[in-house]
Amino acid sequence: MASIGHHDVVVVGNGVVGSSIAYELARRGTRVARIGEPNRTYAASTASGAMLGCFGEVTTSLLATAHGRAKLAVDYEARGMWADWADALADAAADERTLVTSRGTLVMLNSTGSKAVDTGNFQAIESALQSYDEPYERVDPQNDAWLTPNDLHRSLTGLYIPGERSVDSALLLAKLDAALGNSSGTIIDGRVRALVTQGDRVTGVTLEDGTVVGADTVIVAAGATSLDLLGTFEDVARRVPPMVSGYGVSVVVETADGRVPDSVLRTPNRSFACGLHGVPRADGSLYIGATNIISPVPRRHALLSDVKFLIECAIDQLHTELEDASLRKLQVGNRPIPADGFPLFGRLDGTANVWMATGTYRDGLHQSPLLARQMADMLGGGEAHPALRDFVPVRAPLPTGSREEIVETAVDHMLGTGWEAKWTVNREWPTIFSANLRTTYRSIADTLHPTFTPPSELLAELDDVLDETLHDPLRQALTSYYKEWE
């Protein structure tokens, strides 16, 4: 069996979170190796819009709980770190190309969505802006020189947030690779098959080809596949929130006239997803994203139905002439979503030298400078960030609201998917659908556990009777996890 040296730290995962942690450790003098597939097959980073917008994705559910507000606090603090982080990466990578691709975000409240979801989340965004004393202005999106939606999907009002940015995720990953190499870090191409243990300690990892990489400490930052590596610690792993993939599709296009918007254009989060958004790129292309479909395992390829839905939404809601745009790239990513929707960050209970940095859902890239510094600090004996302390991997489910609130959110978003898909129904049907969905979701929640309730997007997916491959494994995983914490 071959081996590749011994390192102070091995980071499993080469998405933005794992790559940022590895670089931060290397620049502090740690002997670190980062392991991941060179094409980053299942990563969320490669398909991301890379919006540094902590306010643009605020929702009513986020603001409703203390842990949701803690996530927002981390987002806000992380946003303030990006300027220095970009400068450090430029120096370390010897690459002065700018990461920033746009300045400002226009959040549009358009006629496509529903009052409960779109208007509610739009108001939540404005409330968060006011509570953080963040500069913004109410604007009429129809005055935007680029935005040209179908009249049936026109924007009614908007919030322009000048302090938000987006970055080029491909360039960010390239700089992180170069910065790590130039800081004497080791990059190992491959996929980790298992952790290597001796007694109750991990001594390294084994790659799929059998190669062993030795380490004093292992950080698991492998996104949606992270929990696959915890089989060695079965008793502990049962008490970690199970994780699913938020599979998403995005596209990069070249517009027919070469014009793109000046800022990020986006709707509030809706239909269990992160809203429709168009993000200009520095090379003149336009990123359009993104869907969010719960999947028990990460997906490698896009479903044509999801691609069709995304493109139709972009044409209707952003610019009708996108019909004439050229498709440059089709991207698939997998957001890591724990069973309670909150990150898994910190030491894995029961072992002194395994740590986790995953489960960041939609926030990983945005939070990466803060998470990297925080992980390096904790490995050096520092205190956990106050807003991250409850997100330790081994924990009881963190609430995302009361059962009644979660059920109602699931009903609202499920109906919202119908409106966004342009359904035509008689006026009494939404009320009938609501009543039936409410009964169904409440019954599912009651069957799972008397008090623990998964987030609305997971609860709604448990009613997917057309896809038993999701229905049964997710139900079993949640039931087993809840039983551990009764």
Are residue 218 and residue 261 in the same domain, yes or no? no
Are residue 272 and residue 224 in the same domain, yes or no? no
Distances (CA, A) of 458 to 11, 296, 407, 448: 29, 10, 11, 12
pLDDT band for position 398 (50/70/90)?
very high
Please count the other Cβ atoms lying within 10 Å of the Cβ belonging to residue 428.
Answer: 8
Number of alpha helices (DSSP H) and beta strands (DSSP E) in the chain:
13, 18
Q: Do the domain assignments include residue 440? A: yes
- Which CATH number belongs to the domain containing residue 376 in this structure? 3.50.50.60
Query: Which tokens is 22 given?
Result: 């590895």
Are residue 147 and residue 277 in the same domain, yes or no? yes
Which residues, other chains included, contact 450 with Cβ-Cβ below 8 Å and sequence gap of 6+? none
Query: Which tokens is 197 given?
Result: 């243990």
Q: Do the domain assignments include residue 376? A: yes
pLDDT in tens, 3-47: 678 999 999 999 999 999 999 999 999 999 999 999 998 999 999
What is the count of structural domains for the chain?
3
Are residue 249 and residue 310 in the same domain, yes or no? yes
Distances (CA, A) of 189 to 38, 89, 206: 6, 21, 13
Q: Which of 301, 317, 338 is the last residue of a domain?
A: 338
Average pLDDT, integer, range 90-114 = 95
Q: Do the domain assignments include residue 192? A: yes
Are residue 262 and residue 274 in the same domain, yes or no? yes
pLDDT in tens, 334-382: 999 999 999 999 999 877 799 999 999 999 999 999 999 999 999 999 9
Are residue 154 and residue 7 in the same domain, yes or no? no
Query: Which tokens is 428 given?
Result: 């009494």
Q: Do the domain assignments include residue 58? A: no
CA distance 119 to 389: 32
Q: Do the domain assignments include residue 455? A: yes
Are residue 295 and residue 317 in the same domain, yes or no? yes
CA distance 404 to 214: 49
Task: Return the DSSP state at 424.
Answer: -
CA distance 464 to 450: 21
CA distance 51 to 56: 9
Bridge-based pairing of strands 155-167 and 100-110 is antiparallel
Are residue 421 and residue 475 in the same domain, yes or no? yes
pLDDT in tens, 430-483: 999 999 999 999 999 999 999 999 999 999 999 865 455 555 889 999 999 999
pLDDT at 395 over 80: yes
Judge whether 114 and 412 are in contact, CB under 8 Å: yes
User: b/e for 216-252, b at 16 or more Cβ within 10 A?
Assistant: bbbbbbbbbbbbbbbeebeebbebbbbbbbbbbbbbb
CA distance 245 to 298: 5
Q: Which of 371, 391, 411 is the last residue of a domain?
A: 391
Q: Do the domain assignments include residue 83? A: no
pLDDT in tens, 421-445: 889 899 999 999 999 999 999 999 9
Q: Do the domain assignments include residue 334? A: yes
CA distance 204 to 209: 15
* Count of CA atoms in the C-beta half-sphere (13 A) of 47: 26
Query: Which tokens is 388 given?
Result: 């991250």
Task: Return the DSSP state at 378.
Answer: H
Mean model confidence pLDDT for the chain: 94
Kindly give the residue spans of alpha helices, DSSP state H, lying in 12-93: 16-27, 60-64, 66-79, 82-93
pTM here is 0.96
Domain extent, residue 16, equals 3-46+171-243+339-391
- Which CATH number belongs to the domain containing residue 288 in this structure? 3.30.9.10
Are residue 289 and residue 426 in the same domain, yes or no? no
Are residue 158 and residue 270 in the same domain, yes or no? yes
10 Å CB burial of residue 50 (0-12, 13-18, 19+) is: buried
CA distance 237 to 216: 21
Are residue 217 and residue 280 in the same domain, yes or no? no
Q: Do the domain assignments include residue 76? A: no
For residues 332, 69, 22, 394, the Cα torsion angle rounded to the nearest 10 degrees is: -90
DSSP string, 287-338: EEE---EEESS--SS--HHHHHHHHHHHHHHTBGGGGG-EEEEEEEEEEEEE
pLDDT at 466: 47
CA distance 341 to 466: 24
Query: Which tokens is 370 given?
Result: 């803060």
Judge whether 438 and 411 are in contact, CB under 8 Å: yes
Are residue 371 and residue 472 in the same domain, yes or no? no
